[in-house]
């Protein structure tokens, strides 16, 4: 029998002063049995950094050719494709052909090596951004993973403040590659 995903609920308040976006989202995250708390929380952070009423989580690790998050317009065309972690370069090339914009949020010990191996290929993808998240931040976020969470995210001038009650993480995502 297959092990089922664990369901997490998050109330996420986003105040993105850079984009003028302010909303509270009631989110349901399904954590695949092979997914770590850190990766799940990075997916949640990626949602916060790109928050939109139509932004949705993908079907998960067990589904190939699927984004971690996706934003489609009213016609069903993909506006934004988001992957977290260290995705395969071939998959990113496919995503760049399918979506208007692609964002990759890298983190963890292998992020630098992954970037050095994929930088040249990804440089040719004009609609692709690559953003590195600080390892100490994502590790601290993993400790915040609970079945029911209430988080606040404030974004101003590229700086991010992520809060859970009295605990706050402050960091600046580092852009490794911006879209053309």
pTM attached to this predicted model? 0.94
Q: pLDDT higher for 137 or 60?
A: 137
- What's the rounded mean pLDDT across residues 156-168? 97
pLDDT of residue 60: 60
Q: Which distant-in-sequence residues (6+ apart) come within 8 Å of 47 by Cβ?
A: 12, 25, 27, 55, 57, 69
Cα–Cα dist 88/53, whole Å: 28
Q: What is the mean pLDDT of the chain?
A: 94
- Least trusted range by pLDDT, from 62-76, 129-143, 152-166: 62-76
Query: Using N-to-C axis directions, what is the helix angle for 37-49 and 135-142, rounded to 10°?
Result: 110
pLDDT of residue 158: 96
If DSSP codes are grouped into helix, strand and coil, which group holds residue 64? coil
- The tokens for 36 are 């770590």
- Give the domains, in start order, of the chain with CATH numbers: 6-177 (3.10.640.10)
For 85-101, what is each residue's pLDDT tens digit? 999 999 999 999 999 99
Q: What is the Rg, in whole angstroms, of the alpha carbon atoms belonging to the chain?
A: 16
């Amino acid at each position: 029998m297959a092990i089922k995903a664990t369901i997490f609920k998050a109330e996420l308040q986003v105040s993105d002063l850079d984009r003028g976006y302010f909303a509270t989202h009631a989110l349901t995250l399904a954590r695949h049995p092979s997914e770590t708390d850190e990766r799940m929380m990075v997916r949640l952070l990626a949602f916060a950094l790109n928050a939109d009423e139509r932004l949705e989580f993908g079907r998960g690790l067990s589904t190939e050719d699927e984004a971690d998050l996706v934003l489609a317009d009213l016609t069903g065309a993909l506006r934004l494709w988001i992957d977290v972690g260290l995705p395969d370069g071939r998959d990113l090339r496919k995503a760049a052909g399918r979506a208007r914009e692609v964002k990759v949020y890298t983190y963890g010990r292998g992020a630098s090596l992954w970037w050095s191996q994929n930088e040249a290929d990804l440089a040719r993808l004009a609609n692709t951004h690559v953003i590195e998240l600080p390892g100490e931040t994502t590790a601290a976020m993993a400790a915040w993973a609970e079945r029911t969470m209430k988080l606040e995210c404030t974004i101003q001038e590229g700086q991010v403040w992520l809060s859970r009650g009295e605990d706050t993480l402050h960091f600046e995502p580092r852009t490794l590659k911006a879209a053309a």
